[in-house]
C-alpha cells in the first residue's frame, strides 16, 4: 500500500461520498458529520490493514529464522555423528 496513492483515493472517495450524501439529505451539517465519520472509519481501516501487513511480515521472518536455526542445528548434529557402519561391534577403524 503506497500511502500517497491511498490518501488521494481516500480524498476522492470522501468527495464523492459528500456529494452523494448532500444530494440525498439536503443538509450541509449532516453531510459534514457523516463525511467526517466516514473519514475516521477509512483511517481506522487503513491503520488495521497496515498493522496486518506488518504482523504478517514479522511472522514470516520468524518462520524463516526458525527454519535457518533448525537447518544449522541439523548440520551440526550431522557433523558430530559418527559415520554410518563404523560404530558396529567388530569393525576396526584404520
pLDDT in tens, 26-74: 999 999 999 999 999 999 998 999 999 999 999 999 998 888 888 777 6
b/e sequence 40-78, b meaning 16+ C-beta within 10 Å: eebeeeeeeeeeeeeeeeeeeeeeeeeeeeeeeeeeeee
Position 92 in a domain: no
Q: Is residue 50 part of a domain?
A: yes
- Rounded CA gap, 9 and 49, in Å? 15
In a domain, 65, yes or no: yes
Alpha carbon 91 to chain centroid, angstroms? 56
> For the whole model, what pTM was predicted?
0.62
- 32 found inside a domain: yes
Q: Is residue 47 part of a domain?
A: yes
Q: Is 28 among the domain residues?
A: yes
Question: In whole angstroms, what is the distance from residue 60 CA to residue 76 CA?
Answer: 24
pLDDT of residue 36: 96
In total, how many domains does the chain have? 1
Among 51, 38, 39, CA closest to 1: 51
Is residue 89, in this structure, part of any structural domain at all?
no
Task: Please report whether residue 25 resides in a domain.
Answer: yes
Domain that holds residue 25: 3-80
C-alpha–C-alpha distance, residues 37 and 47, integer Å: 15
Amino acid at each position: 500500500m503506497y500511502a500517497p496513492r491511498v490518501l488521494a483515493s481516500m480524498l476522492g472517495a470522501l468527495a464523492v461520498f459528500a456529494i452523494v450524501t448532500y444530494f440525498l439529505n439536503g443538509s450541509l451539517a449532516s453531510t459534514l458529520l457523516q463525511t467526517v465519520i466516514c473519514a475516521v472509519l477509512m483511517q481506522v481501516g487503513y491503520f488495521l490493514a497496515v498493522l496486518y501487513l506488518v504482523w504478517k511480515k514479522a511472522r514470516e521472518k520468524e518462520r524463516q529464522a526458525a527454519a535457518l536455526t533448525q537447518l544449522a542445528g541439523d548440520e551440526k548434529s550431522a557433523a558430530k555423528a559418527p559415520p554410518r557402519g563404523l560404530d558396529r561391534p567388530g569393525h576396526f577403524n584404520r
